[in-house]
Structure 1
Amino acid sequence: MTTFDVSSIGFHVLDVLGRPVTAIPPGGRAAFIDEICMTVAGTAGATAVACAILGIKTRSVTTVGDDDMGDFLVSKMRNYGVDCSLVKRTSSVQTSATILPVRPNGERPALHVPGSATVFDVAPYDLDAALDARIIHVGGTGLLKAFDGEPTVALLRRAKELGRITTFDLIQANPETIALVEPCLPYVDYFVPSIDEASEMAGTSSVPAVADFFLSRGVKNCILTLGANGVYVASERGRVFHLPAFEVPVSDTTGCGDSFTAGIIVGVIKGWSLEECARFASAVAARVAMGLGSQGKLKSFDDTVAAMTSLPVRQDTLTATHQL
């Protein structure tokens, strides 16, 4: 029996977002925009917060700076109900942070300080506590300099030895990232990357071929988020399906992928089918996309279930770049 439903391990970052931004003013001049906010973000941080909002017992495992930004992240996560007893503080670098000027169409270029993510690791004396959850989520491979590689593989291997369910996501992947990711894959039950990052690593833009690439390397379930084109799921058991995205007014796409992963985690905890998990996760991401920042308009489990059953579904076909 585990203490937590999910332990979210890895990349946590403070995001400062503003929208809508059409251009950076010249010189020292100012431009007026509608919104500015700060949020808990990252492929482990935003996932942890979304899991807590959706009502499951969540632990965060990360490192933040011994600074005001770190204070904000810890305080905010605790306010959402996330256990932060394994959040370490460091004075060697600042808290990981990103400035995101969000364009009117929801796209967001990033100005990023790697900071505390680069020194994050799970100490041997914390390993048992970090793995004290039904689901172990690792997020942020590619930006976790001290944890990427063998430390991540060892943690996932130990998680599987303990009978845990594992989920995995990464960030800013490129063709070289596969060297860090591939040794992890045999220990991953649910791999939930964006198609853009997965394509970079697989070397193809064909969605089925990308999924097959990762399944052939040991992943049990490959769940590719396709942005406005929905989600494509392929299982080692031969189950393959595509679900279109929900039609919503998009404010900001920050955190959509991270919250989608949270939806998968919640569905697995509840014992749902893979298709039910993916549909619920799509609704979670849709609620996030409707507001600014990684939490967007995500409110609760019940509100998300209502959205899943009432939101219209997009009729768009996949783009020419990512054909099924």
Structure 2
Amino acid sequence: MRRAVSIVCIGGANVDRKARLLAPFQLGTSHPVATTQTAGGVARNVAENLGRLGHTVSLVSAVGDDHDGQWLIDATGPYVDVRHIVRTAKANTGTYTAVLDERGEMVVALADMAVYDTVGDEWMKQRWSELSPVSAVVLDTNFPSDAIRWTIEQCHRERLPLCVVTVSVPKVKRLPPCLHGVTWLVTNEAESIALAGTGGDSVTEAMEALIRSGVENVVVTRGANGVAYATEQGERGTLAAPNVTVTDATGAGDAFAAGFLYGVLGGFSVEDACRFGMSNAALTLQTAETVNRALNERTLHATYEQYFHQGGTKQ
């Protein structure tokens, strides 16, 4: 349906463990749950989504020299080039443990990400030198500040399209104040406000501040309230989210980012790329999997048509 693009995704690759409550949550007591284990991490999830959508994708990350690390590499390998995942004996593989309520919404999540403390700008320079030429870069905010800053500056120097996908409110502070070189920023409401530092609770003000900081295109996901976006060309817009029955919300934001990138890298407008993002998120929300195993170009386009009834506008 479109020309495949070579993409490198840089950042988190974790083991996701999810415990879904079988009854309403109450503090101070144990709960019966159903547990699952899947491959996760924002960069890794985006990479697998893009791989399933037909792109050539490499993943740059760090895992422990342990069973979880090998399991994660084996689980990711069918869709992603995993040769740039570095194994280290200095820390365990990252883990993300989420407790979900009976509706599939997150109650609490626990992240053990000490393995990324082994990453720095020199580490990134070495990995970068080993990469084949790529058409675009995806960067999450799991790595330390110096590695993130170096990657943004390097993409700016090489004029490589760069999409930054935020991970959490604390980790947006790892991004530098100057964001020149960031082509697309995909974030959520709380993260956008924290990153913008405008002191209020207005997503609109946050987007304007982020455009002024150098980001070319800002996309803010708002859960059931849809998406807001702003571009340096002056485009502003909001889109309503499809009405879907949520099985599990884990991975939906990463699916949105991948669907959005599928759109913009395929030549669609930011607005239509957001629709592809919401379509992919809808596919993920309706499954217990962090990345929907049924995902491919055909299912994504069918979902787009189901919810938006139009073919999209290429720029």
Q: TM-score, normalised by structure 1?
A: 0.85
Q: Aligned residue for 2:97?
A: 99
Q: What letter corresponds to residue 134 of structure 2 in structure 1?
A: A
Q: What letter corresponds to residue 266 of structure 2 in structure 1?
A: K
Q: What letter corresponds to residue 83 of structure 1 in structure 2?
A: D
1:173 CA drift (Å): 1.5
User: Which deviates further from its counterpart, 278-287 or 181-190?
Assistant: 181-190
Q: Aligned residue for 2:39?
A: 40
Q: Aligned residue for 1:89?
A: 87
User: Which deviates further from its counterpart, 301-310 or 262-271?
Assistant: 262-271
User: Which deviates further from its counterpart, 47-56 or 221-230?
Assistant: 47-56
> Contact (CA 8 Å) 2:192, 2:203: kept in 1 or not?
no
1:49 CA drift (Å): 1.1
Pick closer, same or farther for the CA change 1:312–1:215 going to 2, 3 Å.
closer
Pick closer, same or farther for the CA change 1:264–1:215 going to 2, 3 Å.
same
Q: CA-to-partner distance for each residue in 1:145-166, whole Å, 9 max, x for gaps?
A: xxx2233222222222222100
Q: CA-to-partner distance for each residue in 1:249-303, whole Å, 9 max, x for gaps?
A: 1011111111111112211221111112110011011111111242146521210
Pick closer, same or farther for the CA change 1:214–1:87 going to 2, 3 Å.
same
1:25 CA drift (Å): 9.5
Alignment of 1:145-184 (within 5 A): 148-174=144-170, 177-178=172-173, 180-183=174-177
1:184 CA drift (Å): 5.2
Alignment of 1:1-324 (within 5 A): 5-21=6-22, 22-23=24-25, 31=32, 33=33, 35-79=34-78, 81-108=79-106, 109-121=108-120, 122-130=123-131, 132-139=133-140, 141=141, 143-144=142-143, 148-174=144-170, 177-178=172-173, 180-183=174-177, 185-202=179-196, 203-296=199-292, 298-311=294-307
> Contact (CA 8 Å) 2:225, 2:241: kept in 1 or not?
yes
Q: CA-to-partner distance for each residue in 1:227-254, whole Å, 9 max, x for gaps?
A: 1111101000001111111111101111
Q: CA-to-partner distance for each residue in 1:99-146, whole Å, 9 max, x for gaps?
A: 21211232221122123222234343321344732111110x2x42xx
> Contact (CA 8 Å) 2:156, 2:180: kept in 1 or not?
no
2-side partners of 1:205 and 1:9: how far apart? 30
2-side partners of 1:298 and 1:37: how far apart? 18
Pick closer, same or farther for the CA change 1:30–1:20 going to 2, 3 Å.
closer
Q: Aligned residue for 2:313?
A: none
Q: CA-to-partner distance for each residue in 1:49-80, whole Å, 9 max, x for gaps?
A: 1111111111000000111111111011112x
User: Which deviates further from its counterpart, 282-291 or 10-19?
Assistant: 10-19
Query: How big is the alpha-carbon RMSD for the aligned residues of Structure 1 and Structure 2?
Result: 2.3
SS at match of 1:181: coil
2-side partners of 1:267 and 1:129: how far apart? 28
> Contact (CA 8 Å) 1:97, 1:115: kept in 2 or not?
no
User: Which deviates further from its counterpart, 260-269 or 154-163?
Assistant: 154-163
2-side partners of 1:201 and 1:208: how far apart? 13
Q: Which runs of 5+ in 2 are unaligned?
A: 310-315
> Contact (CA 8 Å) 1:12, 1:117: kept in 2 or not?
no
User: Which deviates further from its counterpart, 61-70 or 265-274?
Assistant: 265-274
Q: Which has the higher contact order (CA 8 A, sep 6+)?
A: 1
> Contact (CA 8 Å) 1:182, 1:217: kept in 2 or not?
no
1:94 CA drift (Å): 0.5
Q: What letter corresponds to residue 270 of structure 1 in structure 2?
A: G
2-side partners of 1:158 and 1:210: how far apart? 25
> Contact (CA 8 Å) 2:7, 2:137: kept in 1 or not?
yes
SS at match of 1:245: coil
